[in-house]
Amino acid sequence: MSQKVKDYSQYFIAPDLKAAKKRGKEEIQVLQFEQIPENMRQVGQGKKYLIQTYGCQMNVHDSETIAGILEQMGYTATEEEQEADIILLNTCAIRENAEDKVFGGLGRLKRLKLEKPDLILGVCGCMSQEESVVNRILQSYQHVDLIFGTHNIHRLPYLLQNALFSKEMVVEVWSKEGDVVENMPKVRTDGLRAWVNIMYGCDKFCTYCIVPYTRGKERSRRPEDVLNEIRDLARKGYQEVTLLGQNVNAYGKDFTDINYRFGDLMDDVRKIGIPRVRFTTSHPRDFDDHLIEVLAKRGNLVEHIHLPVQSGSSAVLKMMARKYTREQYLELARKIKQAIPDAVFTTDIIVGFPGETEEQFQETLSLVEEMQYDSAFTFIYSPREGTPAAKMKDDVPMEVKKERLQRLNDLQNEISRKKNEALRGQIVEVLVEGESKKNANVLSGRTRTNKLVNFTGPKHLIGKLVHVRIDEPQTWTLKGVWVDQEQLAQVGV
Ligand code: SAH
Ligand code: SF4
Ligand code: F3S
């Protein structure tokens, strides 16, 4: 990859969903990010970039890497489309409405591209990994200059070089990937909280989900690379890290030389002096007893568990290929609660899976009632081309799906309100992120359990861990007042 490639035709590599499904047995290679080629180090001098990020935290963090690469080429960030010399859309393919937003954005940017022909307009992220999307862009959005996928972000300098000097659209999307690239530059959005990838890809192939095709096979970063990154963040004064993976509990399963799993990693992260450690997302299937034991040691490991259930019906879970039953999920939750009595659970739920009956939906309602989640992300099933569920017969009308979503949300909101109400009068620890978005006189931050708290207090608290007394709980947020050290001592905290 170090030599300059002049033959642009070789830069047309389109994605292939079938190829993406084949999981090779070949060893995972750890590659090091190479330096930006000499002739690309100055191309961005005096120029600006804008990255629009859609989708999950994985994408948010990928955008930080893309920004890091662009800044090493001399580009600086802007929030204004009009000012930008390069605009990248880092896309999400999880549901149809996520894709619609991107196509809407691309349509809108056409005028800007006409006004400013030198603008580089690129599409990356999960949608680029889909054949149908790339074909649609080739046909109907010819003002796009560059398409690259989730596996070849490290090649951005070369791809950009080609986009800058070629009149053709540059497309490079690798369908199968088994590599881990270390030492990529990153521009982290704040100096307080950081995302840290611990693994990439997903091998679960839940029947509704596009992620295993867009993100490749499960592969873990080496423990020393993860731990060194977190130690470095701690030294730089970060207060919180969130460990990222589509299924963090599968961490280490792919190591052939060491026996080191997610529980072991958490046990080592626990010893690093960073005040808060979160992780997302955990699949109930690989949540083992050792992990529960380690999480119960608490310290910087926060008592918040995001444990997506998807459905409360074992029959639907089977159709989804989640590989656990309602009972197994509830049993796992019971074990976690036993070890961590004040654990806060949140979840993801899909309603209207193909063929879901009213009774099966009611099982989801009863599971939500039983679990008493603090909050839930709820979605209407969206068929994704190339996935097994997209071929299943679906006789549930859209109005019924919408009505089920409403019933589920009504129930969850009632539970969320009740859960927050229980915090009235209590003093909680808050990591202060900044001024509230709505009111500059109010500060906002999050509890260990990831609840948003708005409170009154002096500005010098920003960036610190403080205590707040909750006096006005609401459904989605908590309102309170700062409790200083003196007051704390009085109440004996
Ligand atoms: N890896 C995570 C999920 C990542 S996707 C996990 O397994 O927990 C985030 C959520 O989007 C999923 O939990 C699921 O609830 C939802 N989702 C995924 N595919 C979907 C689809 N085709 N339609 C609707 N919701 C979907
Ligand atoms: Fe998708 Fe399932 Fe993998 Fe989560 S575990 S990313 S829902 S296939
Ligand atoms: Fe979307 Fe890709 Fe994340 S599909 S949810 S951005 S892994």
| Residue with the larger pLDDT of the pair 281 and 492 | 281
233 belongs to a structural domain: yes
Verify that 288 and 149 share a domain, yes or no.
no
Domain boundary residue, one of 397, 421, 445: 421
Query: At residue 100, does pLDDT exceed 90?
Result: yes
Asked if omega into 347 is within 30° of 0 (cis), the reply is no
- CATH code: domain of residue 264: 3.80.30.20
What's the total number of domains in the chain? 3
Verify that 347 and 451 share a domain, yes or no.
no
Q: Looking at residue 3, what is its pLDDT?
A: 36
For ligand 2, say whether the CB of 212 is within 6 Å of any of its atoms.
yes
254 belongs to a structural domain: yes
Q: Looking at residue 479, what is its pLDDT?
A: 96
Distance 220 CA to ligand 1 centre (A): 21
Closest ligand to the CA of 350: 1
Verify that 202 and 333 share a domain, yes or no.
yes
467 belongs to a structural domain: yes
Selection from 195, 240, 198 nearest residue 219 by Cα: 198
Region 189-218 average pLDDT = 94
For ligand 2, say whether the CB of 247 is within 6 Å of any of its atoms.
yes
Confidence label for 329 from pLDDT (cuts 50, 70 and 90): very high
206 is known to lie in a ligand binding site: yes
CA quadruple 391, 392, 397, 398: dihedral positive or negative? negative
340 belongs to a structural domain: yes
Verify that 105 and 231 share a domain, yes or no.
no
Query: At residue 2, does pLDDT exceed 70?
Result: no
Query: At residue 1, does pLDDT exceed 50?
Result: no
Query: At residue 4, does pLDDT exceed 90?
Result: no
- In the chain, what percentage of residues exceed pLDDT 70? 97
Query: At residue 7, does pLDDT exceed 50?
Result: no
Region 41-48 average pLDDT = 94
Verify that 129 and 47 share a domain, yes or no.
yes
Selection from 309, 322, 239 nearest residue 278 by Cα: 239
Q: Give Cβ neighbours of residue 330 (< 8 Å, ≥ 6 apart).
A: 367, 370, 371
For ligand 2, say whether the CB of 468 is within 6 Å of any of its atoms.
no
State the DSSP code for 365.
H
**From the alpha carbon of 308, which atom of ligand 1 is closest?**
8
2 belongs to a structural domain: no
Verify that 414 and 464 share a domain, yes or no.
no
Verify that 353 and 274 share a domain, yes or no.
yes
178 belongs to a structural domain: no
Closest ligand to the CA of 281: 1
Closest ligand to the CA of 97: 1
14 belongs to a structural domain: yes
Verify that 432 and 415 share a domain, yes or no.
no
Neighbours of 370 (CB within 10 A): 12
Confidence label for 423 from pLDDT (cuts 50, 70 and 90): very high
Distance 136 CA to ligand 3 centre (A): 19
- In the chain, what percentage of residues exceed pLDDT 90? 86
- CATH code: domain of residue 486: 2.40.50.140
Nearest protein Cα to ligand 3, atom 7: 211
| Residue with the larger pLDDT of the pair 8 and 16 | 16
* One-letter amino acid for residue 326 of the chain: R
124 is known to lie in a ligand binding site: no
CA quadruple 151, 152, 156, 162: dihedral positive or negative? negative
Distance 18 CA to ligand 1 centre (A): 20
H-assigned helices in 341-433: 358-371, 398-421
Q: Cα(364)–Cα(342) distance, rounded to whole angstroms?
A: 23
Number of H helices and E strands in the chain, helices first, is: 14, 22
Strand-pairing partners, residue 146, are: 122, 170
Nearest protein Cα to ligand 2, atom 2: 206
Query: At residue 30, does pLDDT exceed 60?
Result: yes
Selection from 157, 179, 139, 134 nearest residue 43 by Cα: 157
Nearest protein Cα to ligand 2, atom 5: 204
Region 102-126 average pLDDT = 96
Q: Cα(442)–Cα(493) distance, rounded to whole angstroms?
A: 24
Q: What is the mean pLDDT of the chain?
A: 93
Contact 461, 443 (CB under 8 A): yes
Distance 94 CA to ligand 1 centre (A): 7
Region 37-47 average pLDDT = 92
Closest ligand to the CA of 383: 1
Distance 138 CA to ligand 2 centre (A): 29
Q: Looking at residue 5, what is its pLDDT?
A: 37
Confidence label for 151 from pLDDT (cuts 50, 70 and 90): very high
Residues with CB under 6 A from ligand 1: 94-95, 208-209, 211, 246-247, 281, 283, 308, 310, 348, 350, 379, 381-382, 384
- CATH code: domain of residue 147: 3.40.50.2300
**From the alpha carbon of 91, which atom of ligand 3 is closest?**
6
Region 170-190 average pLDDT = 89
Domain boundary residue, one of 374, 392, 421: 421
Verify that 54 and 115 share a domain, yes or no.
yes
Confidence label for 6 from pLDDT (cuts 50, 70 and 90): very low
Nearest protein Cα to ligand 3, atom 3: 56
114 belongs to a structural domain: yes
For ligand 2, say whether the CB of 95 is within 6 Å of any of its atoms.
no
| pLDDT tens per residue across span 245-275 | 999 999 999 999 999 999 999 999 999 999 9
Confidence label for 20 from pLDDT (cuts 50, 70 and 90): confident
Verify that 79 and 137 share a domain, yes or no.
yes
Verify that 167 and 211 share a domain, yes or no.
no
Domain boundary residue, one of 172, 202, 234: 172
Verify that 159 and 192 share a domain, yes or no.
no
Q: Which domain holds residue 149?
A: 9-172
CA quadruple 27, 32, 33, 37: dihedral positive or negative? negative
Selection from 70, 142, 132 nearest residue 106 by Cα: 142
pTM of the entire predicted model = 0.94
Q: Give rounded-to-5 percent helix, strand, coil for the chain.
A: 40, 20, 40
| pLDDT tens per residue across span 60-89 | 999 999 999 999 999 999 999 999 999 999
Region 131-153 average pLDDT = 94
What the block records as the tokens of 332 is: 């796992």
Query: At residue 8, does pLDDT exceed 60?
Result: no
